[in-house]
Amino acid sequence: MATIVKLPSGNWRAQLRHHGKSVSKTFRLKSQAERWATEQQDRVGRGETPTTRDSVKTDTIGELIKLHLDDMAEVGKAAQRSKEHALLRLQDDRDVGKVRVSHFTRERVIEFGRRRAKEGAGPSTLSIDLSFIGTVLGHASAIYGHKVPTEDLRLGRAALLRLGLVGNAAERDRRPTTDELSRLLSFFRFQPRLVIPMERIVKFAVATSMRQEEITRILFDDFDGEAATVLIRQRKHPRDKASNNQYVPLVADTGFDAVALIKEQAERVSPKGSIFPYCARSIGAAFRRACIELRIEDLHFHDLRHEGISRLFEADWDIPQVASVSGHKDWKMLQRYTHLRPSYIASRANRRKAL
C-alpha cells in the first residue's frame, strides 16, 4: 500500500513497500505523487517490481495537455470553461493531441492552422489555440524538464500570421435595431413549445449587460430585491482568473426592468438555485435559430451585451456607473462595447443647442 506525505519543503513524497523493501520518490505536486503511486501499485499487481523511474506518459501533445490540466487543478487553478473546452478539443485533434511531441514540427503547426481555417476557425480563435499549446509546452518544460518544440511552434505561428490565418479578433459594433429586437421578442413570445423563456432572457441580457453564462449562473440566494443588486460569482476577468465575485446593480434604464424580470422568473421556477436554470449553450442555439427564422443576419447573443452597455450611455450614465454594471475595469475595454447610435448623438447635440 502506498503512502503519500507532504514534506517540510512543500514537496510530496510517495512511498511503497513491497516484499520488505521500500521504494519512494519525491514530487513537486501531490497529483504527480498520486499518479506515480498508482502506477507502481499497478506494476505490483502485474507481478513487476516497483521503480523510481518517472513513468507518466508524456509521449504526445495530448498527454502533455492532460498533465497540464491535472496539475493546475491540483494547485487550485483549474482552467476556466472556455480554456478547458479548447484544450480538450486540442487533446483529441489529429494534428495536435495525437501527435508525438518529437513530431510536432513547424510544418505540423502550419498544417493544423490551415485545416482549422478551412473548418471555419477565425484568426483570433486560431491565435488562442496556439497560445494554449504554448502554455502547455511551457508547463511541461518548467515543471518536468521536458524538451519541447517551442521554437517550431513559434515559427509555425509566424508563418500562419504571414498567411493571415492568425490575428486579433475584429471589433464588433453590431447592435440589434429596434425592429430586430421587437421581432425577436415577439417570436419568442409565441413559441409555446420552447422550454427556455427566451423573451425574458433576452430582455434580462439587455437590462444587465450580462453574458449568457453569467445569466445562467446567478442564484436566487445572491439576489437582493430591496437593494436591487445581484452577486455574480467568478465573473470573467482578463487578469483575475481565480475569483472575481462582483455585486452588480439591477436597473431599468435600458428600457427593461431587471428586478421585475427576476420576480417574474421567480413565479415560474423554484426559488432555490439558479434564477435562470438553463444551459447557456441551449440559449445561444435558440437565439441563433430565431435569427435564422427571422432572417436577421450577423447578430449574436453576445451583441445584447453591447446593446445594454450602449443604452446606459445613451441614458446619460457616466463611465464608472456603466462599468459597475458591465464589470469592465478600464475605459479601453468598455469602449469596445460602446456603440452609440448616430440618432442619439444628433439628438443630444440638438438638445445642447436648445439650451
Q: Which of 101, 131, 162 is the last residue of a domain?
A: 162
Q: What's the burial of 21, exposed, middle or buried (CB within 10 Å: 0-12/13-18/19+)?
A: exposed
167 assigned to some structural domain: no
Predicted confidence at residue 51, as pLDDT, reads: 65
Predicted confidence at residue 63, as pLDDT, reads: 92
218 assigned to some structural domain: yes
Only one residue has cell 479578433, namely 169
Give the H or E element holding residue 123: helix 123-144
My answer on whether 138 and 105 are in the same domain is yes
Smallest CA-to-CA distance from 226 within 266, 253, 263, 264 is with: 263
What tens-digit pLDDT sequence spans the chain (355 residues)? Answer: 688 888 888 888 888 887 777 778 887 788 878 888 888 887 777 777 676 655 556 789 999 999 899 888 867 777 777 788 899 999 999 999 999 999 999 999 999 999 999 998 889 889 999 999 999 999 999 888 889 999 999 999 999 999 999 987 666 778 999 999 999 999 999 988 899 999 999 999 999 999 999 999 999 999 999 999 999 987 775 455 455 788 999 999 999 999 999 999 999 998 889 999 999 989 999 999 999 999 999 999 999 999 999 999 889 898 889 988 988 876 666 776 565 565 555 555 455 555 5
Predicted confidence at residue 185, as pLDDT, reads: 97
320 assigned to some structural domain: yes
56 assigned to some structural domain: no
My answer on whether 208 and 334 are in the same domain is yes
My answer on whether 222 and 301 are in the same domain is yes
How distant, in Å, are the alpha carbons of 22, 85, 115, 282 from that of 1? 11, 36, 48, 47
Q: Which of 97, 129, 162 is the last residue of a domain?
A: 162
312 assigned to some structural domain: yes
CA dihedral 136, 111, 151, 238 (to 10 degrees): -40
My answer on whether 272 and 331 are in the same domain is yes
Radius of gyration of the chain (CA): 26
Predicted confidence at residue 308, as pLDDT, reads: 94
My answer on whether 143 and 215 are in the same domain is no
Instruction: Kindly state the DSSP code that residue 13 receives in the 8-state scheme.
Output: E
My answer on whether 151 and 278 are in the same domain is no
My answer on whether 147 and 188 are in the same domain is no
51 assigned to some structural domain: no
My answer on whether 93 and 226 are in the same domain is no
CA separation for the pair 133, 93 (Å, rounded): 12
My answer on whether 152 and 188 are in the same domain is no
How many domains, in total, are found in the chain? 3
My answer on whether 201 and 95 are in the same domain is no
Number of neighbouring beta carbons within 10 Å of residue 138: 14
229 forms bridges with which residues in the sheet? 224, 249
Q: Which of 103, 131, 162 is the last residue of a domain?
A: 162
3 forms bridges with which residues in the sheet? 15
Range of the domain at 26: 2-45
Predicted confidence at residue 179, as pLDDT, reads: 96
Query: Is-contact 308 205, C-beta < 8 A?
Result: yes
Query: Is-contact 251 325, C-beta < 8 A?
Result: yes
Give the H or E element holding residue 290: helix 280-294
| Domain CATH for 319 | 1.10.443.10
